[in-house]
Amino acid sequence: MENKGIYWKKNIDVLNKKYPDIAANLKLHNDHIFVNCFESKSGHMTAKAKDMETGREVLLHSPEDPISETENIVDGLELKGGELRCLIGIGLGYLAIEILKRNLPLHKLLIIEGSFSIFSAAMSHVDLTEVLNSDSVTLYVGKEFNFNNILNINRVAINMHGLPITIFEPARQIMPEFYTNVIYKLKEEGNSILGVIVTAKNIGLTSFQNILDNCTEIINSANISSLEASMKGRPAVVIGAGPYLSEAIPVLKKWGHMALLVCVDSALPILLKEGIKPDIVATVDYSFACVEKFRDIIDKLSDIPMCYIEAVNPLTVKLYPCPTKFFLAEGRGFLASIKRFWGKWARLPAMQGVAHMAYSVAAETGASPIILLGFDLAYTGFKSHASGMALPVTINLENAAWIETLEGEMAPTMFQMLGMKSGIEHLIRFYNSTPCLNANKTGARIVGAPQCDLEEILSKTEPPQIFASEIIKGCFEKASKPSSQDILPILNENLIIIYDLISQCRKTVKNAEKALKKIAKDKAIISGIPEISTLNALRNVLDGYEETIKNIAFADIHEIIHILEGLDLDLQTDEVKLNVNDQELKAKDKVSSEMNMVIKSMSIRIDALKKIESYFKKIHERLNSEIELKKSIEKELNTKKRADLLIRLGKVYLNYGDTLPAEKVLRQSIDLDKNNADSYVLLSKSLSIQLKHKDALQYITYAKKLSPARNDIKKIFEQESTWPDRKLNEAAQFITLAGAGYTRLPWAVRIISEVLKLYPNHARAKIYFSEVNRLMDESKKRLNLIAELIDGDEQKVIERIDELTAKEDFNLAISVANILVKKYPKSAIAKERLALLILDKGMKAEAKKLLIQAISLNPNRPDTMVHLGMIFAEEGDLQEARNYLLAALNLDSNLTILHEALGDLNYALKQYEASIENYENFFLANPNRKDILNRMGDCYFKIGKQEAAQAAWQAGSTNKNRLSEATKV
């Protein structure tokens, strides 16, 4: 560690107050970076940093003028007001200081420095107090960081501008691994936040609708807490649908009864096909695709319990035939007001997918250990899943991420699987009292789950006295659940609260509209000082706004969050944009904009509350009607009237999407009265929702015979008659949609197969089936080709890229090189190869970036220096070009050919003596190139040595007019 400089005391006092943990670590640090600080020619401090372990050394800032250099760098950063800028590497702090000087409105800066030595040098020799004191700056120093909190806080900034990252390139050259890891982690966390943002915008309303649509199922289900400690003394196997599951099937068949078997929904058809019945299945998907995972085997599920999350797609839960169902929910909003009826309420850990749900179920039961199986989380052997999955996932290696496997190699995977892996690792820590093991022999390494032999563990487990399935069933039957009678008065109470909140919102809107009128008439506001009456009106609006927002939060109408999350994010973004442009707005426009923001905010809340009101009324009507109609049905003795009441009850069920109870009562109605067309119409609708379209057509056809004049029956009949063509139109979109690629083709196969199953001779379906299989074959061939090209170690893949380049198959070479860079993110040669390939395509900026990264990973490879130097030369940055070519020559003195280019560069930079030296060295190595002497002569002439110039020109066999031409120039 260097001597403390003149700014140390001043800086450390601020650091102790603002970042005490960093200050404490700074005093203890002993990393292997040595920093030598010295004055630049401009008088400002600069520094060299050297990694004492690797010998890598780099100049952190310009030896000429680091301040001017920094100003030029920041000029090119395209900083924006309202963004969160990530600066990886602080150097001596000049970049951070200059960014703050730009004084951008609402700008945030996240600084990440990996070396305490470099940070200590900055603290010693540069005044960092403004940076350290700034509320707009967050500082991390060290090797281990958690970016989740800081990125979550800045969601609005990320929504506006993404996550711009600026890399302090000099330091990356001595700490390439640190920079690679931080960039990867930032991008991973940033993509996760962007995923949350996209979910909030696109799925929030769907989640709200799903939760309330699921209410009738939730009140008839047990909370997962009812399984608490029920499986103590036995292990749990949590089963995914990854490729390794196929390998483990024999063990599960032989020993599965010794454990609690919890499977994800996509693994269910795989297991049943092999005769293995899991004890419980987990499902979470909010989309329609969820039900497709087990629809083909739905008649085999009547005795396999399900656990679902509150926002799962309603059809998934409502069509699932087993009545033994458990749920996990946050327990906020409407559910918060009724959760007491379940007694215990399980914690809901953070989860992103069904794997996390299945793990949570196993953990709640008290089973130990939890054994993961089939969670490859990678395309093991270029397979995406175990054989037999209902909706296969196709692999596109060109868009795949790469992950380290249990064998220490790299394997392709989906970006979603990276999130799944992080989620599982989080749950292992969350349930840290329960050991977790990984029974896979292939696939990704899961931190916190050491490998195990599944057969060895299960074969040594004491045989259970009661099967897990029986325990689960018993827990469900004993579990407390609310009745409809319990729910109705609480719904009424919630509706009263909603009416009051809507009234408050409307009052605030009305006051804001009045304020806008006052603003329009207020002449004094132009000077920035509004009239007292206007000021009072504005205060009234803002006070009312804050009070209303507080009341909505206090009421805990949690459903509003799902509706508003995305809308509020956009509104907050608009507010930030308004504040960013604040200086350009006149006082009158600024105040008007604020009032309009209030109106917009309250308006979207009114719309959201009205949606919730509508749903609560719908639930109330569904539950109340069911109670009343059941009472009437029980009392009614007249067969026809009883049939009519059953039809009314069926309609109530259908209006709420409860298709299975609807089907049941409608069939009862038909048994009582076979001539009532309404029962056939409603039964047809129920079957259609259940995707039993051939049966639906049968019943609507009979209804049409009973009432041929009814237009509603004609319309439903037409819909069911044209169902095959409508489904094939949907399949056509998946086949022909631009960019649909490989991932959508299985959906097309699924839809077409469904049509052919019901209508085997459908001509159009047959044509489509042939076409989609052709496309699937093409995608498989492409997959096999790419898989062959990227198989093997790094050197073998590079050789194949070179072969493709020699054959001028540049597009395929670029595809393989892109994959190689992802497979080996720390490979300098992979980045160099890709850079050269895309450079030929004119992608100069991208190529330059890759070459800079390659040099940071391997600063001892001269070829990379040469390529980058040539790009800088083409761009006219002659100084940088010379620096890189000199660096290459220093690394390999045999590269004498570079002396010619260096001579030309030095000549252009008016460094004539250096140019002469370069040309001499080149000529000594290449005596046949006498033409180089002409350029030497030009240099001598420039420095006034005409005799030497003349001699060089004569030796170079130049024409006699060379002197006169040079003189003219």
pLDDT, position 867: 94
pLDDT at 581 over 80: no
pLDDT, position 526: 64
623 near 484, Cβ under 8 Å?
Answer: yes
* Token pair 């990125």: residue: 151
Q: How many domains does the chain have?
A: 5
Question: Would residue 444 count as lying in a domain?
Answer: yes
Average pLDDT, the chain: 88
pLDDT confidence band for 535 (50 / 70 / 90): confident
DSSP conformational letter for 235: -
The tens digit of pLDDT for each residue in 369-423 reads 999 999 999 888 888 888 877 666 677 787 788 888 898 888 888 877 887 888 8
pLDDT at 967 over 50: no
Encode 641-659: b = buried (16+ Cβ within 10 Å), e = exposed. Answer: ebbbbbbbbbbbbbebbbb
β-pairing, 45-51 vs 57-59, is antiparallel
pLDDT, position 52: 87
pLDDT at 299 over 70: yes
Question: Domain ends where: 436, 460, 478?
Answer: 478
Distance spanning both ends of the chain, measured CA to CA: 54
Among residues 573, 568, 542, which one has the least CA distance to residue 106? Answer: 573
Per the structure block, which two tokens stand in for 559?
């459903």
pLDDT at 478 over 90: yes
CA angle 70, 71, 77 (to 5 degrees): 90
Q: What is the mean pLDDT of residues 229-236?
A: 95
Do 372 and 277 belong to one domain? yes
pLDDT, position 414: 83
Q: Is 371 helix (H, G, I), strand (E, B) or coil?
A: strand
Question: Would residue 583 count as lying in a domain?
Answer: yes
The tens digit of pLDDT for each residue in 550-572 reads 888 787 666 666 666 656 666 66
Edge to edge, what strands does the sheet with 436-438 contain? 222-223, 325-328, 306-309, 280-283, 260-264, 236-239, 370-373, 436-438
Question: Would residue 915 count as lying in a domain?
Answer: no
Lowest mean pLDDT among 134-148, 517-531, 813-827: 517-531
For residues 312 and 629, what is the distance between their CA atoms, to the nearest angstrom?
29
Number of alpha carbons in the 13 Å side-chain half-sphere of residue 390: 20
Do 602 and 532 belong to one domain? yes
pLDDT, position 907: 95
Among residues 261, 259, 295, which one has the least CA distance to residue 277? Answer: 261
Which CA distances in Å does 189 have to 106, 121, 183, 332, 422? 22, 30, 10, 27, 11
pLDDT at 45 over 60: yes
Question: Would residue 833 count as lying in a domain?
Answer: no
Which helix (H) or strand (E) segment holds residue 381: the answer is none
Q: What is the mean pLDDT of residues 343-366?
A: 87
Among residues 466, 478, 473, which one has the least CA distance to residue 325? Answer: 473
More confident residue, 808 or 573: 808
Edge to edge, what strands does the sheet with 108-113 contain? 137-141, 108-113, 84-88, 165-167
pLDDT confidence band for 969 (50 / 70 / 90): very low
Domain range holding 30?
Answer: 8-202
- φ/ψ bin of 239: left (φ > 0), alpha (ψ from -120 to 50), beta (otherwise): beta
pLDDT, position 636: 94
pLDDT, position 963: 46
For residues 688 and 691, what is the distance between their CA atoms, to the nearest angstrom?
5
Q: What is the mean pLDDT of residues 654-681?
A: 96
pLDDT, position 22: 92
Provide the strand spans (E) within 8-82: 33-39, 45-51, 57-59
Do 234 and 263 belong to one domain? yes
pLDDT, position 742: 43
Question: Would residue 954 count as lying in a domain?
Answer: no
Do 696 and 746 belong to one domain? no
pLDDT, position 564: 64
Question: Would residue 546 count as lying in a domain?
Answer: yes
Question: Would residue 110 count as lying in a domain?
Answer: yes
Do 196 and 212 belong to one domain? no
Query: pLDDT exceeding 90 applies to what percent of the chain?
Result: 58
Q: Cis ω on the peptide bond leading into residue 369 (within 30° of 0)?
A: yes
The tens digit of pLDDT for each residue in 683-725 reads 999 999 998 999 999 999 999 999 999 999 999 999 999 999 9
Per the structure block, which two tokens stand in for 348?
């809901």
pLDDT, position 571: 66
For residues 414 and 397, what is the distance between their CA atoms, to the nearest angstrom?
9
Residue 445 φ/ψ, nearest 5 degrees: -80, 125
688 near 720, Cβ under 8 Å?
Answer: yes
pLDDT at 750 over 90: no
pLDDT confidence band for 578 (50 / 70 / 90): low
225 near 346, Cβ under 8 Å?
Answer: yes
For residues 199 and 210, what is the distance between their CA atoms, to the nearest angstrom?
14
Do 113 and 192 belong to one domain? yes
**Based on C-alpha coordinates, what's the Rg of the chain?**
36
Q: At 647, which CATH number?
A: 1.25.40.10
pLDDT, position 966: 44
Do 509 and 590 belong to one domain? yes
For residues 24 and 42, what is the distance between their CA atoms, to the nearest angstrom?
34
Q: Is 167 helix (H, G, I), strand (E, B) or coil?
A: strand
Do 555 and 418 belong to one domain? no
Do 239 and 375 belong to one domain? yes
Do 50 and 171 belong to one domain? yes
235 near 258, Cβ under 8 Å?
Answer: yes
pLDDT, position 283: 95
Question: Domain ends where: 787, 816, 834?
Answer: 787
Q: What is the mean pLDDT of residues 49-60?
A: 85
Query: pLDDT exceeding 70 applies to what percent of the chain?
Result: 92
Neighbours of 155 (CB within 10 A): 18
pLDDT at 740 over 60: no
Question: Domain ends where: 721, 753, 769?
Answer: 721
For residues 164 and 187, what is the distance between their CA atoms, to the nearest angstrom?
10
46 near 39, Cβ under 8 Å?
Answer: yes
Q: At 148, which CATH number?
A: 3.40.50
* Token pair 């992080």: residue: 422
The tens digit of pLDDT for each residue in 428-462 reads 999 999 999 999 999 999 999 999 999 999 999 99
The tens digit of pLDDT for each residue in 756-802 reads 988 999 999 999 999 988 988 888 888 889 989 998 889 999 999 99
Per the structure block, which two tokens stand in for 709?
């004049």
Q: What is the mean pLDDT of residues 217-245?
A: 95
CA 257 to chain centre: 38
Do 183 and 165 belong to one domain? yes
Lowest mean pLDDT among 18-27, 90-99, 286-295, 897-906: 286-295
pLDDT at 152 over 90: no
pLDDT confidence band for 743 (50 / 70 / 90): low
Lowest mean pLDDT among 199-213, 337-351, 480-494, 867-881: 199-213
pLDDT, position 960: 45
pTM of the model: 0.77
Among residues 932, 931, 864, which one has the least CA distance to residue 902? Answer: 932
Q: What residues have CB less than 8 Å from 746, skipping those under 6 apart?
A: 391, 392, 393, 394
427 near 359, Cβ under 8 Å?
Answer: yes
DSSP conformational letter for 92: T
The tens digit of pLDDT for each residue in 586-641 reads 666 778 888 888 998 899 889 889 988 998 999 999 999 999 999 999 999 999 99
pLDDT, position 560: 67
Do 715 and 736 belong to one domain? no
Provide the strand spans (E) within 329-417: 370-373, 401-404, 410-413
pLDDT, position 1: 42
507 near 561, Cβ under 8 Å?
Answer: no
For residues 234 and 93, what is the distance between their CA atoms, to the nearest angstrom?
57
Question: Would residue 703 count as lying in a domain?
Answer: yes
